[in-house]
Amino acid sequence: MPILKRRTKKAIQDTILMILGFAVIAAFFMASLPHEANAKTTRIKDIVDFEGVRDNQLVGYGLVVGLNGTGDSLNNAPFTEQSLVSMLERLGVSTRGQNLNTGNVAAVMVTATLPPFTNQGAQIDITVSAFGDAESLRGGTLLVTPLMAADGEVYAVAQGPVAISGFTVEGQAGNVTQNIPTTGRVPNGGIVEREIDFKLEDLQEVRLSLRNPDFTTARRISQAINGFMSTNVSSAENSASVVLRRPQNFDGSIVDLITDIEQLPVQPDQVARVVIDERSGVIVMGSDVRISTVAIAQANLTVSITETPQVSQPNPFAEQGETVVVPRTDIEINSGEANLALIETGVTLQDLVTGLNRLGVAPGDIITILQAIKAAGALQAEIETL
């Protein structure tokens, strides 16, 4: 019996130690969860552009026909008349030297975006914009228009009815215009005739271009990729690009490698910046903006000028004298109350906003205050004015 009791006691002690061990591990794991949950990470694919994966701009010049008298006036738009004559000659109709007078035709600029890796025969959306003095493109049809890229080659051909979201209604004493009736779209109106000769899968390395260049972000991207691949397959070239190399033992193309790494989470970093648009009074401040100890005083200066002219006239039955207007000007200057606020060093963006709000400062005054703080050397951030 004593031996059995000792064994039972030892088993109970081992069980208690095991439970305590699990509790310590669980506590450590739970303590690490908030840090991971609060980390502001984003996917690599959302902060970089991959080399060669890009859009291409296309542009062309064409004619929209079928307008109900809202097209170009040929007298004021000679290019429309010349384009109309050339088009009719290509169709076997000779009108050169004739006096054309139609308001159902409009010259337009046709633009489109060619997505990356678009195959021949694919359809793309087209945007049509009036080039002359046309009043509206409603009800018009775009004729065959070649669309060229920057290299001068034709990559697509556009044609189709123009969809307009705006309209114009006129009367003898007024008119009403909604949206822009001189701009429209042709959904799926462009057919791709030439593919861009770029083979991404044949590359052995590709560059990742950061949309917001930053040295810290570039290094974190490279470290995340190398950690995931367990080998050095990437390196930060500079603050704007990271080079990704295909490993020799990787069973797949560079496309497969991009697919594997674009979902990796990375915590981007950025320079503390204050963006100011003085025209609209918009102020945007990043979360890393810091202020050194500074005192701010803000007061409004109001100058009020009141004119109260008085009429002076001679006494009744006076032999001499005339009625005159005597000016009376009253000038009042009110400097307001100067509110002095002390902002301690290292305050956060929230503290700065709270302090300025307590002063009752208007957006225009906040812009001036921020510029003054920057000039005093107390604003640890860049100021960018739009």
With respect to residue 164, please indicate whether it lies within any of the assigned structural domains: yes
What pLDDT, on the 0 to 100 scale, is given for residue 24?
40
- Ordered alpha helix ranges (H), the chain: 2-38, 78-90, 215-229, 254-261, 349-358, 363-375
Q: Is the pLDDT of residue 193 over 70?
A: yes
Average pLDDT over residues 219-231: 92
Per-residue pLDDT at 191: 96
In a domain, 371, yes or no: yes
Rounded Cα distance, 77 and 103, in Å: 11
| Residue 64 lies in domain | 56-168+175-192
CB atoms within 10 A of CB 45: 15
Tokens for 170, please give them: 């006129």
For the chain, what percent of residues have pLDDT higher than 90?
Answer: 32
Burial of 12 (0-12, 13-18, 19+ CB in 10 A): exposed
> CA gyration radius for the chain?
36
Whether residue 74 has pLDDT greater than 80: yes
151, part of any domain: yes
% pLDDT > 70, the chain: 73
Task: Tell me the backbone φ, ψ of residue 294, rounded to 5 degrees.
Answer: -155, 145
The whole-number pLDDT of residue 2 equals 47
User: Do residues 107 and 71 lie in contact, with contact meaning Cβ atoms separated by under 8 Å?
Assistant: no
- The confidence band for 51, taking pLDDT boundaries of 50, 70 and 90, is confident
Mean pLDDT score across all residues of the chain:
79
Question: Is 303 found in the same domain as 182?
Answer: no
Model pLDDT for residues 282-308, shown as the tens digit of each residue: 778 777 777 777 676 666 544 455 657
149-165 pLDDT, tens digit per residue, is: 999 999 999 999 999 87
Is residue 31 one of the residues assigned to a domain?
A: no
Long-range contacts of 332-338 (CB under 8 A, 24+ apart): 332/303, 332/304, 332/305, 332/306, 333/301, 333/302, 333/303, 333/304, 334/301, 334/302, 334/303, 334/304, 335/299, 335/300, 335/301, 335/302, 336/299, 336/300, 336/301, 336/302, 337/299, 338/297, 338/298, 338/299
d(CA 270, CA 268): 7
CA nearest 63: which of 5, 111, 10, 106?
Answer: 106
Degrees to nearest 5, angle at CA 35 with 33 and 41: 110
Domain co-membership, 82 together with 179: yes
Q: What is the mean pLDDT of residues 203-225?
A: 92
Residue 217 predicted with pLDDT over 50: yes
DSSP assignment of 288-311: T-EE-SEEEEE---EEEEEE--EE
What gap in Å lies between CA 154 and CA 377, rounded to an integer? 55
Whether residues 163 and 106 share a domain: the answer is yes
Domain count, the chain: 3
- Among the residue ranges 21-35, 174-188, 192-206, the one predicted with the least confidence is 21-35
Please identify which residue in the block is written with the tokens 């102020």. 283
Clarify whether residues 187 and 223 are in a common domain.
no
Is the pLDDT score of 38 beyond 70? no
- Residue 62's beta-bridge partner residues? 108
Same domain, 363 and 285: yes
CA distance 328 to 322: 19
**Same domain (yes/no): 162, 262:** no
In a domain, 2, yes or no: no
pLDDT band per the 50, 70, 90 thresholds, residue 22: very low
Answer yes or no: is 4 within a domain.
no
Q: Same domain, yes or no, for 297 and 246? A: no
Q: How far apart are CA 346 and CA 271, in angstroms?
A: 16
User: How far is it, in rounded angstroms, from Cα 142 to Cα 73?
Assistant: 18
In a domain, 113, yes or no: yes
Residues 131 and 63 in one domain: yes
The model's confidence at residue 251, banded by pLDDT at 50, 70 and 90, is confident
Residue 81 or residue 243, greater confidence:
243
**Same domain for 286 and 261:** no
pLDDT at 339: 56
Residues 280, 262 within the same domain: no
209 located within any domain: yes
